[in-house]
Amino acid sequence: MSSPRVGRGWVFGLWALGSCSGLALLWQVFDVYFNLGSQPVVPSTSDIARHDLTAILCVGSVIAALVISITRRSVWLVVLSGILVVVALGGSAVFSVPAGRWFPPEPTSEPLSPYYKPCYSGSGDCN
């Protein structure tokens, strides 16, 4: 069996990878949405793919650190890894590209025709 220091080293390395990926998420949102012009920004498919890959790397690395911490039975590593998992999931949701991707779009309703006649059940007067 390997020494506890080896497991701790993996956890610290995965924490560093997750933290750097989280900062990269923040930078990507800034890169996509910061503009000085008045035109609204529409992220490209490559921006969305880049964000998804970075978010998966960020969340996956801290989850892997949590799993290693649990197998090492180190309470403080488990607690800190759990906190980082929550922060990584929250950061991935808040700093999402495209913005608002986790919220359903507003429904669009078209005005009814002035000739619209509702059909009531049992009326026998339907179109």
Judged on CB neighbours under 10 Å (0-12, 13-18, 19+), 127 is exposed
Note down the domain range covering 31: 4-94
Instruction: Examine residue 120 and state whether it is found in any structural domain, yes or no.
Output: no
Domain-located, residue 39: yes
Can you tell me the mean pLDDT for 22-37?
86
Q: What is the pLDDT of residues 32-67, one digit of tens each?
A: 888 777 677 788 888 888 988 999 999 999 999 999
pLDDT in tens, 82-126: 999 999 999 888 888 776 666 666 777 788 888 877 777 776 667
Find the mean pLDDT for residues 77-85.
Answer: 92
Largest CA distance in the chain: 81
Q: Is residue 9 part of a domain?
A: yes
> Does 60 fall in a domain?
yes
1 or 32, greater pLDDT: 32
Does 113 map to a domain? Answer: no
What's the pLDDT at 31? 85
Query: Within a domain: residue 111?
Result: no
Q: What is the distance between the alpha carbons of residues 92 and 23, in angstroms, rounded to a whole number?
A: 11
The number of distinct structural domains making up the chain is 1
Asked if residue 121 is part of any domain, the answer here is no
Radius of gyration of the chain (CA): 24
The b/e string for 22-60 (b: 16+ C-beta within 10 A; e otherwise) is: bebbeebbeebeeeeeeeeeebeeebeebbeebbebbbe
| pLDDT at 2 > cutoff 80 | no
Would you call 39 helix, strand, or coil by DSSP?
Answer: coil
Res 125: pLDDT:
67
Residue 104 within any structural domain of the chain: no
